[in-house]
Amino acid sequence: RLRSSKGGTGDFSPAPGKENKQKMNNENFAGIMGTVKQAEVTNGVCGYDTENRYAVLRVCVPRKSSAEDTVIVAQRLEENKNMEETPLLDKDIMATGILQKAINAESGHTAVFILAEHVATVEFPEYQNGVKLTAEIVNNPEVRETPRGKHIADVMLKVENCIQGGNVHIPCIFWQENASEIAKYKRGTIVKITGRLQSREYVKKHYGDNNAESEEKRTTFEVSVEKVQVWWQPETVERN
């Protein structure tokens, strides 16, 4: 249910109590403050969990630079409940919840999104985008260099799938010193990270009959890591 708040400097830290009783390797928190650019009620999120209805918002969150990120916020709707979509367009909101990953079985597309526990409109926003995860590394990190000479490492972190059970892997990107640091560790290591949920567009090439080539513009979502701390390391893990 959407609520209204006059304050625009909401504290994105998890409230004390139940969350603090959880094991640290289950920490999963995301919070944003931004402007709604698209709002709809759909069966599922990006083609995932289509048996349930969701209010799905695409929220624009400016970065400190001139760029901006589009963040998907989804809130599961109770049966016989609805949401007024149009009044939310171009409204500023604050949303908090956990990171999840949608996987469309038909198209193969994936999307990292915020499964919201709280969504409220705000009158005086201060745009924010924050993620906190304590989770297990599922791949052996490797540093690579971008065409602009930046060092990066792509890492998947395992979090609980709160929609259908099991686990999902959240893509995270580490930059420069953080990339060099994370590359020292192996899969199975538990790390505590803070960062932001970012979006970027890329072009996917397809090759059909007679080598006919077509292009498809896609959007990928990942956590850009700002701080990392090693929480626990396995004694022996092979880097295969």
Mean pLDDT across 66-88:
81
CA–CA dist 35, 93 (Å, integer):
6
- Which is more confident, 207 or 90? 90
Residue 9 pLDDT greater than 80, yes or no: no
CA–CA dist 45, 110 (Å, integer):
10
Largest CA distance in the chain: 61
Q: With pLDDT > 90 as the criterion, what percentage of the chain qualifies?
A: 59
- Which is more confident, 225 or 4? 225
| Per-residue confidence (pLDDT) for residue 224, from 0 to 100 | 96
CA angle 75, 77, 79 (to 5 degrees): 170
Asked if 100 contacts 158 with a C-beta cutoff of 8 angstroms, the reply is: no
CA–CA dist 127, 122 (Å, integer):
11
Reference 120, options 80, 72, 98, 88; nearest CA is 88
- Which is more confident, 216 or 39? 39
| Per-residue confidence (pLDDT) for residue 236, from 0 to 100 | 61
CA–CA dist 3, 85 (Å, integer):
14
CA–CA dist 100, 28 (Å, integer):
9
| Per-residue confidence (pLDDT) for residue 8, from 0 to 100 | 43
For 121-139, the pLDDT digits (tens) are 999 889 999 999 999 999 9
Please report, for residues 75, 136, 225, 230, the alpha-carbon distance to residue 15 in angstroms, rounded to integers and kept in the order given: 19, 23, 23, 24
Q: pTM for the complete prediction?
A: 0.83
Residue 20 pLDDT greater than 50, yes or no: no
- The neighbour count for residue 174, using CB atoms within 10 Å, is 26
CA–CA dist 95, 114 (Å, integer):
8
| Per-residue confidence (pLDDT) for residue 1, from 0 to 100 | 42
Residue 94 pLDDT greater than 70, yes or no: yes
Asked if 122 contacts 5 with a C-beta cutoff of 8 angstroms, the reply is: yes
For 141-177, the pLDDT digits (tens) are 999 999 999 999 999 999 999 998 999 999 999 999 9
Q: What is the mean pLDDT of the chain?
A: 84
Reference 228, options 146, 96, 135, 159; nearest CA is 135
CA–CA dist 221, 71 (Å, integer):
8
| Per-residue confidence (pLDDT) for residue 15, from 0 to 100 | 39
Place of tokens 């990120």: 69
Helix (H) or strand (E) holding 174: strand 167-175
